[in-house]
Chains A and B, each alone.
Chain A
Amino acid sequence: MSEMNAPTELPKPKTVEIPETARTLPSGEREFMLDVSTSDLEINMGPQHPATHGVMRILIRTNGEVVTGGQVHLGYLHRCAEKIGENVEWLQYLPYTDRYDYLSAMNNNLGYSLAVEAVMGVEIPRRATILRTLCAELNRIGSHLVAFGTYGLDIGAFTPFFYCFREREWMMALFEKICGARLTYSYIRIGGVFNDAPVGWLKEVERFCDVFEEKWQEYYDLLAVNHIFVKRTADIGVISPEMAVDYGLTGPMLRGSGVDFDLRRDVPYMAYDEICKAGVFDIPLGTGEKGTVGDCWDRVYVRLQEMLESIKIIRWCLGVIEDGPVIGDIPKVIKVPPGEAYVGIENPRGELGHYILSDGGKVARRCRVRGPSFCNVAVLEQLLPGTFLADSVAIIGSTDVVIGETDR
C-alpha cells in the first residue's frame, strides 16, 4: 500500500449539462428532465439465487434498467447421469432417474421404464398400466403446484406458495403410503410397478380429487387473476409459436404459445390412447386472455389448468382399475436384447426422452436422457434482451426450470 501514490489532485467536478428536454409546468415554472448516463453492466445472477430455482447462473448484461443480453451457464449440478447409466445394471439405474427432475420422479421412472421395455418388448399388466398413469398424473399435479407456488414467490406473492404446499403435502403422503418415499419414489419399475396400492389408498386418492378441485379455485382467485400478478406477467416474455417450435420447447412452454400438441394425445403411450378416445381430458392452450399469446401469464395458466385435467385422468383411472398383478414376468437380473429405442413421454415440463442402446448384456451401452428443462432454458438467451431487469425474474420463473434436469 505504501508504494501506492496518493492522489495529488482531486478530480474536478464535471459541469452538469442541462438537456434540452425541458417542459413548462402549468404553474409557469420550467422543469428540466435530468437523466443519469448509464453504460453496460454485467451482473451474475446466480449460481445461488432464489429465482434460478437451484444452481443456475445467468450472466445478465444491463444498461440501466434494460437487459441487453443474457447468457445461461449450466453444469453446476452435473452428476454424470448418462455415464452412470453405462456403468450400472438396468434396474440399478432407476433410482438415478428420480434425481434429474426431482419434482416429478414418477414421470422420470416411467420414461426410463418405457424405454427399456420398448427394447425388451414385455407385456405390462393392465393394473400396473393404470397405476402408472394414476401416479404419473398425481405427480404432475404435485410438480405444477411447486411450479405455480414458487412462481408466485419469484413475483413477490408469498401466500400462494403455502396454499400450494398444503395440497402437495397430501400428494406426497399418498405416495409415501404406496411406495415409502416422498420425493424420489423409484415406484414405477421395468415391467410394471413394484408394489400394489395398499387397502383404502384408491379411496383416499378419490377424496384428494374432490378436495383438490375445490382448492384449485383458491389458487385461481388468489394468484392467477390477481391484478398485480397479471400486471407483472401479461405481455412479458412473449414466445411466438414459430420460436417455440424452432427452439424445441415442449410441454406447457409450447402449449402456452398456443401450439396444440401434447404427447399424451398425439404420440400416445400406455393407456393414453384409450383415455383420449374416451374424451376424458382437454389440452389447455395459451390464448392471450390477459395479454399476448405466449406470454408468462399464459404459460402459468396452462399449468394451472393442467392440474384440473390431471384430476380428470385420475378419476378415469379410479373408474377402470381392476384387480390383477402389478408387475410382469421380469427376471431379477434384467438382460435387454441387443437393440435401441427412443421413447419420449410428456413430463410436467415437456418431453422427457430416453435413448437406450443395448448390446444384449446386463448394462446399457448408451443411456441418453433428453431433459425438457435443458431445451426450455435455451430460449432465455433470446427472450431476455430488451426486457426490464425486474421482468427477467418473471421470465426465468415462467420457464419452470429444474436444475437437476438441465444438468443431469
Chain B
Amino acid sequence: MDFNSIHQRLLAINAPGVLSADTPRAADPEDKADKGRAGEAFVLIDRSEALNFLLAVRDDAALAFDMLVDLTGTDPDAEDEDLWLNLHLLSLAHGHRLAVKAMVPKSNAVVPSMVAAHMAAHYHERECSEMFGIHFEGNPDLRNILLPDDWIGFPLRKDYEFPKEYHGVSCE
C-alpha cells in the first residue's frame, strides 16, 4: 500500500491517536521564505496513544505492521518546546513502511513504553531515554545502554553542553 491508502485505512479502522498526515510538498513560488518540504510522508500521532496505536496497526490484517524497525527521538531545535518521537514500522507481509511521529514536550517528556507491542522497542527505548531524556513509562529496565551509568545530561538534545571533565579527566 502507498502512504495515502495507509492513511485512509488508519482513519477507517479509527486507529487510536492519529492526528494528521504530513506529506512532502513543493515550495510556494509566491512566498520566498517557504522552501517546501522534501523527503517522505509521515503520520502524526498523540504520544499518549503510542502503544495503542502500535497494537492497532499490528493487529489489523490490511496494515499488518508487525515489525517495529526503529524508535528514536529528535530534537529539532534548542528553542523548540517539543522533542519528536520517531517510529518506523515495517510490514513483512505487505512490504510497506510507515513513518510515525509524535510530539513530546520537553517539560514533560513521558511516553508509554511500547515493549508490550514489540520487544524490539526495549533497546531503542533505553537508547532514546539516555540520549533525549524521554521517559518510557512501563519499560521494565530503563538503564543507560550506550552511555556510562553516571553520565550527566542528554547528549542528543540541542542544548546539551559538553562536559568539562569526566571522573577527574579533563575533556578540553
Contact = CB atoms under 8 A, between A and B. Distances in A.
A in complex with B: yes
Interface in A320-365: 336-342, 344, 351, 353, 355-360, 365
A261 B92 contact: yes
A366 B38 contact: no
Contacts of B139: none
Contacts of A246: 118-120
B69 A353 contact: yes
Contacts of B69: 248, 250, 344, 351, 353, 370
Nearest to A381: B122
A338 B22 CA distance: 14
Nearest to A260: B92
A248 B68 contact: yes
A271 interface: no
A243 to B, nearest CB: 8
B86 to A, nearest CB: 6
Contacts of A358: 38-39
B168 interface: no
B138 interface: no
Nearest to A370: B70
Interface residues of A, number: 46
B72 interface: yes
A75 B66 contact: no
A91 to B, nearest CB: 18
Interface in B57-95: 66-70, 72, 74-77, 86, 88, 90, 92, 95
Interface string A366-391: 10101000110010001000000000
B137 interface: no
A319 to B, nearest CB: 27
B70 A342 contact: yes
B159 interface: no
Given A245-B67, A247-B119, A375-B120, A75 B147 contact: yes
A266 interface: yes
Interface stretch (A24-32, A114-122, A185-193, A209-217): A114-122
Contact of B35 (A338, A375, A378): A338
A337 B34 CA distance: 11
B24 interface: yes
B39 A119 contact: yes
Interface string A256-298: 0001010000110000000000000000000000000000000
A340 B40 CA distance: 6
Among B38, B42, B148, max chain A CB count under 10 A is at B38
A355 B86 contact: yes
B156 interface: yes
A98 interface: no
A82 B75 CA distance: 12
Given A344-B69, A353-B70, A353-B88, A118 B123 contact: no
Given A365-B76, A365-B77, 14 more contacts: A75-B144, A75-B145, A118-B39, A247-B120, A267-B97, A337-B38, A339-B37, A341-B40, A342-B99, A353-B69, A356-B39, A359-B76, A374-B127, A407-B146
28 contacts: A74-B146, A75-B146, A78-B146, A82-B131, A82-B156, A121-B38, A245-B66, A246-B118, A248-B67, A250-B69, A266-B95, A267-B95, A336-B38, A337-B36, A337-B38, A338-B38, A339-B39, A340-B39, A342-B86, A355-B74, A365-B74, A365-B77, A368-B70, A368-B72, A370-B70, A374-B123, A378-B123, A408-B146
